[in-house]
């Protein structure tokens, strides 16, 4: 058939966007119709998401998408970052602003849960990498608060936005798999974990899978966005990383991926979870993907380190131009200093250049580094962390990896891609930058019948239609190996 227009709402930690994707008849086009900043707000000591500002951005974006598409859309899908949620009261109204996963309320919660459910058992039941902000810890931190007591429903962020658009509530599976309340073998909630954490599973509306119908735009929403006719909303891989992995333009099965943005999510796609103790020790996660797949990966701090440095410099009146900084960083010697980009010490916002500096490895002048030297340290550290994650994914899963796909915002960072190829000793295929939005559109398009096929067919379509860039590994891999050993023994 002909290509149909779908809107992909993709909310990231730094910005939200609405993309118009046209898919069908062997074609795939994507254009950005609206982008808006996502600015967390600290209020009374708690870091929040400004979720109504995001919703306003979504409405503006849908209006813009409709205008581009002649007033009609064949569907809408919503994805966003994982783990966070909004609470609704008995009338369906939002209780307070959702708390940001970088808020410190979860400190000490892992130990608290481990006292009733040992970490090894939690891992066997949920397969999730320990991250202090996993939903289960957030809910433990919220126990006994008036907000949670008044709550009748809990909606993960993309489900919350979909609820406002449609009036219908559901819990999308790929994102539910990031809560540490879901058993990745069965794709159902784990009563045992919920009981141990004191979580009322009745707060979650029924599960739905990517491709499932999720309602239609409410008349009031259509009116506000100028859209005509019924507009179906469909569940997609509502966890942005799940959509980004759909958007990997792989040619065959032997690939690793790194979804780069605020985070780097580096790993492989599997048919079944790997719930081994070795995997737990290596901090590997089993998140659920589209079509029954498992995203076996590690969370790495990602470009957050760089974004946060820039924010600090700008606040100090030294706003640097990113391209100039990157060019200078590219000319600097490699591995002068590096940090463990997986270290939760970098999770919270604030004073990032300073926090990165003292942790840097010696070699030269640790103090008084220039901004470009700090940027180089960040990118070397990310490449190093990518190397470790790809090697660990291979080792722990037994998968063959011949190529590393870098998708998401980091795919346009040439230095990061080049260093990643060098560090991994593997070719890197970079792009698409908007993999999450493409994955969102493609899952909708398939559910709507505009395209068909398996994930591998979808990936061939991406490979044919998207512009990609290849980086062959170069330089001396042993320098990366040495740095890795040095980090491990520090």
Report the catalytic residues: 240
Residue number, 101 or 471, with CB nearest to ligand LRH: 101
Residue number, 299 or 337, with CB nearest to ligand LRH: 299
DSSP for residue 279: H
Name the nearest CA neighbour of 185 among 238, 244, 129, 127.
Answer: 127
CB 442, CB 449: distance < 8 Å = no
The interface with ligand LRH within residues 260-319 (CB under 6 A) comprises: 261-263, 265, 299
CB 244, CB 457: distance < 8 Å = no
Compute the Cα dihedral for 423, 426, 432, 438 and give only its sign.
negative
Q: Does 240 bind ligand LRH (CB under 6 A)?
A: yes
Q: From the CB of 173, what's the least distance to ligand LRH, in Å?
A: 15
Half-sphere CA count of 385, side-chain side, radius 13 A: 29
Cα distance between residue 200 and residue 211, in whole Å: 27
The separation between the first and the last C-alpha atoms of the chain, rounded to the nearest angstrom, is 58
Q: From the CB of 321, what's the least distance to ligand LRH, in Å?
A: 25
Q: Does 156 bind ligand LRH (CB under 6 A)?
A: no
The interface with ligand LRH within residues 62-81 (CB under 6 A) comprises: 81
Q: Does 174 bind ligand LRH (CB under 6 A)?
A: no
Q: From the CB of 131, what's the least distance to ligand LRH, in Å?
A: 7
Cβ within 8 Å of residue 251, ≥6 positions away: 403, 459, 460, 463
Q: From the CB of 439, what's the least distance to ligand LRH, in Å?
A: 13
Residue number, 263 or 284, with CB nearest to ligand LRH: 263
Q: Does 85 bind ligand LRH (CB under 6 A)?
A: no
Q: Which two tokens stand for residue 376?
A: 């180089």
Residue number, 24 or 289, with CB nearest to ligand LRH: 289
CB 244, CB 434: distance < 8 Å = no
Q: From the CB of 285, what's the least distance to ligand LRH, in Å?
A: 8
Q: Does 6 bind ligand LRH (CB under 6 A)?
A: no
| Kind of pairing between the strands at 285-288 and 294-300 | antiparallel
Going edge to edge, which strands form the sheet with 27-37? 27-37, 15-24, 4-11, 75-80, 232-234, 213-216
**Total Cβ atoms within 10 A of residue 242:** 32
Residue number, 166 or 175, with CB nearest to ligand LRH: 175
Cα distance between residue 141 and residue 316, in whole Å: 34
Residue number, 176 or 372, with CB nearest to ligand LRH: 176
Q: From the CB of 133, what's the least distance to ligand LRH, in Å?
A: 7
Q: Which among 67-75, 256-264, 373-381, 396-404 is the span making contact with ligand LRH, rule CB under 6 A?
A: 256-264
Q: Which among 57-65, 117-125, 238-246, 367-375 is the span making contact with ligand LRH, rule CB under 6 A?
A: 238-246
Cα distance between residue 73 and residue 207, in whole Å: 25
Q: From the CB of 292, what's the least distance to ligand LRH, in Å?
A: 19
User: SS3 letters for 64-115?
Assistant: HHHHHCCCCCCEEEEEECCCCEEEECCCCCECCCCECCCCHHHCCHHHHHHH
Cβ within 8 Å of residue 185, ≥6 positions away: 272, 273, 275
Q: Does 243 bind ligand LRH (CB under 6 A)?
A: no
Contacting ligand LRH (CB under 6 A), which of 241, 293, 337, 420? 241
Q: From the CB of 287, what's the least distance to ligand LRH, in Å?
A: 7
Q: From the CB of 248, what's the least distance to ligand LRH, in Å?
A: 14
Query: Phi and psi of 471, rounded to 5°?
Result: -125, 120
Residue number, 249 or 302, with CB nearest to ligand LRH: 302
Residue number, 239 or 361, with CB nearest to ligand LRH: 239
Q: Which two tokens stand for residue 154?
A: 């809990």
How many chain residues bind ligand LRH (CB under 6 A)? 14
Q: Does 466 bind ligand LRH (CB under 6 A)?
A: no
Cβ within 8 Å of residue 489, ≥6 positions away: none
Q: Which among 236-244, 392-400, 438-446, 462-470 is the span making contact with ligand LRH, rule CB under 6 A?
A: 236-244
Q: Does 83 bind ligand LRH (CB under 6 A)?
A: yes
The interface with ligand LRH within residues 98-137 (CB under 6 A) comprises: 101
Contacting ligand LRH (CB under 6 A), which of 20, 82, 99, 419? 82
Angle, to 10 degrees, between the axis of helix 304-315 and the axis of helix 371-397? 160
Q: Which among 112-120, 185-193, 257-265, 352-360 is the span making contact with ligand LRH, rule CB under 6 A?
A: 257-265
Query: For binding to ligand LRH (CB under 6 A), which residues are involved?
Result: 12-13, 81-83, 101, 239-241, 261-263, 265, 299
């Amino acid at each position: 058939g002909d290509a149909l227009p779908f809107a992909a709402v993709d909310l990231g930690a730094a910005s939200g966007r609405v993309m118009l994707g046209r898919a069908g008849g062997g074609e795939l086009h994507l254009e950005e119709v609206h982008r808006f900043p996502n600015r967390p707000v600290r209020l009374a000591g708690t870091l929040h998401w400004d979720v109504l500002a995001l919703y306003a951005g979504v409405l503006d974006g849908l209006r813009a998408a409709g205008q581009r598409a002649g007033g009609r859309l064949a569907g809408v899908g919503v994805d966003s970052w994982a783990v966070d949620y909004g609470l609704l009261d008995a009338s369906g109204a939002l209780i307070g602003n959702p708390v940001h996963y970088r808020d410190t309320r979860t400190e000490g919660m892992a130990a608290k849960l481990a006292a009733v459910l040992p970490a090894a058992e939690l891992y066997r039941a949920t397969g999730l990498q320990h991250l202090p902000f996993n939903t289960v810890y957030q809910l433990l931190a919220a126990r006994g608060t008036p907000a949670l007591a008044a709550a009748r429903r809990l909606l993960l962020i993309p489900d919350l936005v979909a609820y406002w658009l449609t009036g219908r509530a559901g819990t999308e599976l790929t994102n539910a798999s990031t809560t540490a309340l879901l058993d990745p073998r069965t794709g159902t909630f784990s009563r045992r974990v919920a009981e141990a954490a004191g979580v009322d599973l009745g707060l979650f509306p029924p599960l739905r899978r990517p491709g499932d119908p999720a309602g239609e735009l409410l008349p009031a929403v259509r009116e506000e966005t100028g859209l005509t006719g019924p507009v179906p909303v469909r569940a997609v891989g509502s966890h942005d990383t799940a959509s980004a992995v759909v958007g990997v333009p792989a040619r065959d099965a032997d690939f690793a991926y790194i979804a780069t943005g605020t985070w780097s999510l580096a790993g492989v796609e599997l048919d079944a979870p790997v719930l081994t103790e070795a995997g737990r020790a290596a901090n590997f996660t089993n998140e659920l993907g589209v079509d029954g797949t498992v995203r076996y990966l590690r969370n790495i701090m990602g470009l957050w380190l760089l974004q946060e440095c820039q924010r600090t410099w700008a606040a100090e009146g030294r706003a640097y131009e990113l391209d100039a900084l990157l060019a200078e960083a590219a000319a600097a010697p490699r591995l002068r200093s590096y940090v463990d980009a997986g270290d939760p010490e970098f999770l919270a916002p604030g004073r990032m250049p300073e926090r990165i500096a003292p942790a840097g490895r010696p070699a030269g002048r640790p103090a008084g580094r220039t901004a470009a030297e700090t940027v180089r340290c960040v990118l070397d550290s990310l490449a190093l962390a990518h190397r470790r994650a790809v090697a660990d994914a291979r080792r722990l899963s037994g998968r063959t990896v011949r190529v590393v796909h870098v998708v998401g915002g980091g795919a346009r960072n040439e230095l990061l891609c080049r260093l990643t190829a060098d560090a991994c000793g593997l070719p890197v295929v970079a792009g698409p930058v908007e993999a999450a939005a493409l994955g969102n559109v493609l899952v909708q398009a398939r559910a709507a019948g505009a395209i068909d096929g398996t994930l591998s067919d979808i990936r061939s379509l991406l490979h044919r239609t998207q512009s990609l860039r290849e980086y062959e590994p170069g330089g001396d891999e042993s320098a990366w190996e040495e740095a890795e050993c040095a980090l491990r023994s520090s």
